[in-house]
Amino acid sequence: MHATGFAFPNDGHVLWSLMIVMYPYITGLMFGCFIVSALYLVFGRVLLRPVARLSLVASLGFLIAAPLPLLFHLGRPELALNVLITPNFMSAMAAFGYVYSVCIAIILIMVWLTWRPEIVARAKEGRGLRKLFYWFLALGVLDDSKESFRIDHRVTLVLAGIGIPTACILSGYVGFIFGSVKANYWWSSTLMPVIFLFSAVTSGVAMVIVLYQGLSKLSRRVIDSDCVQALAQWLWLFSIMTITLEILEIITLAYERNEEWLVIEPLLFDAIKTSFWVIQILIGSGIPLILLGIVVVFRRFLSSGLRNSLTFLSSLILLVQVFAMRWNIIIGGQMFSKSLGGFREPYVPQFWEKEGVATAIGIFLIPFIFLAVFSFFFSLFEESPTEPEEEVKESEASEEAIVPA
């Protein structure tokens, strides 16, 4: 143990390590991807149609990977289900288990209903094992009438409406966990769940942009510049709100100068100054805000290719920014001693340890592997609209009135 100032003996180690940083990061990506899909399905933002299916299945991929960091962190991961089968309704972790179960059920059903026309078509056209496989996925229901698909679409809308608050609770729950720790001045804030929510949407929208442009390049599809422009507008909005909330929290603490500022000030300006001020604020926040501002404000003076490139670059930087934010909150909050008079040595994860860098990379790659496997059987992009024509026209009129092309 190496520490500066006065530190208690039990303050020598960071107990919530890289895995606890990965958990809210992946959960946030799931929530943000789902919000992009909901903006199209529920709120009629038809400019987002090219990424609606991609964002929905991406949210499922990240949701599948979300509990894995927690399981790797547990000493006895095989006992994890006890939180569900022996419930304690006063436990925040038990609440996570139930909310997670509801959320994954909703998204699974939404994915099945969204891809059911394709499943039914392949079940009817296929032969042998291929036909049996898609018949099994269709649950034996091969009704391909317009009325049945219209009902599927309406059920999907209802599920998306239910899924929005459910996913909000799942993502905001992490901020609640940290915000409710009264003994830690860096975590104990009523703004913590709100900051986690907005940063989750920011990271999710950024991930959708990266996935859409990356997959379009790989598959040689034409990138819909209007869709990317709409995503850039939403990303700029959510990043402004996220960064504003983060800065306001620091300004409020500095202005009040209560006893918590005595430990937070040296934390910010010494212990985590590089990761906070340089990576999170200067590079991770400042550069994307400027680039996205150029894309949104000067869109009529820029070519579609340049706007797409600037949006893609901004998205990559914001993905790093949100991860840095999670790192600075979770790891930074464990660096100062509970004596409020000392700091432990910086936490550096090892590469091959159980909760190390290799494990984190492996878990982070799982959603992308899921997308690759999914794309082998189904199309990630919508080739033609599946909604009733009248609904599409109404949505387009609303979109043009709110979000300029």
Dump pLDDT digits (tens) for 259-291: 788 888 888 988 889 999 999 999 999 999 999
* Segment 307-319, tens digit of pLDDT: 999 999 999 999 9
**Distance in angstroms (rounded) separating the CA atoms of residues 347 and 18:** 9
Burial class for 405, CB neighbours closer than 10 Å (0-12, 13-18, 19+):
exposed
Lowest mean pLDDT among 10-19, 315-324, 391-400: 391-400
**Distance in angstroms (rounded) separating the CA atoms of residues 94 and 166:** 15
Q: With bands split at pLDDT 50, 70 and 90, how would you rate the model's confidence at 191?
A: confident
Q: Across residues 226-233, what is the average pLDDT?
A: 96
Where do the domains of the chain lie? 17-180+351-405
The single residue listed with the structure tokens 């901020």 is: 175
Q: Across residues 314-329, what is the average pLDDT?
A: 95
Q: Across residues 385-402, what is the average pLDDT?
A: 42
Confidence check: pLDDT of 95 > 60: yes
On the CB side of 43, how many CA atoms lie within 13 Å of its CA?
A: 14
Q: Across residues 88-96, what is the average pLDDT?
A: 73
More confident residue, 244 or 82: 244
Q: How many CB atoms lie within 10 A of CB 374?
A: 17
The single residue listed with the structure tokens 């999170």 is: 280
Confidence check: pLDDT of 180 > 70: yes
Mean pLDDT is highest, among 84-93, 173-182, 276-285, for 276-285
Q: With bands split at pLDDT 50, 70 and 90, how would you rate the model's confidence at 26?
A: very high
**Helix, strand, coil percentages in the chain from 3-state DSSP, rounded to 5:** 75, 0, 25
Confidence check: pLDDT of 399 > 50: no
Q: How many CB atoms lie within 10 A of CB 366?
A: 16
More confident residue, 387 or 318: 318
Confidence check: pLDDT of 345 > 80: no
For 268, the token pair is 């910010």
CB 284 within 8 A of CB 317: yes
Confidence check: pLDDT of 30 > 50: yes
For 400, the token pair is 């043009």
Phi, psi of 382 (to 5 degrees): -80, 120
Mean pLDDT is highest, among 9-18, 263-272, 285-294, 388-397, for 285-294
- DSSP annotation string for 192-204: HHHHHHHHHHHHH
> Residue 130: what pLDDT?
84
For 271, the token pair is 């212990």
* Segment 372-384, tens digit of pLDDT: 999 998 989 876 4
Confidence check: pLDDT of 295 > 90: yes
More confident residue, 10 or 352: 352
The single residue listed with the structure tokens 């590469």 is: 351
The set of long-range contacts for 173-176, using a CB threshold of 8 Å and a minimum separation of 24, is: 173/92, 173/95, 173/96, 173/99, 174/23, 174/24, 174/27, 175/24, 176/92
> Residue 2: what pLDDT?
61
On the CB side of 230, how many CA atoms lie within 13 Å of its CA?
A: 24
More confident residue, 90 or 315: 315
CB 13 within 8 A of CB 345: no
Q: Which residues contact 72 (CB under 8 A, 6 or more apart)?
A: 19, 354, 355, 359, 363
Confidence check: pLDDT of 394 > 60: no
Q: With bands split at pLDDT 50, 70 and 90, how would you rate the model's confidence at 401?
A: very low
Average model confidence (pLDDT) across the chain = 85
pTM for the predicted model, two decimal places = 0.89
> Residue 8: what pLDDT?
53
> Residue 9: what pLDDT?
57
CB 44 within 8 A of CB 380: no
> Residue 363: what pLDDT?
95
Q: Which residues contact 35 (CB under 8 A, 6 or more apart)?
A: 164, 167, 201, 204, 205
Lowest mean pLDDT among 22-26, 135-139, 270-274, 342-346: 342-346
> Residue 390: what pLDDT?
42
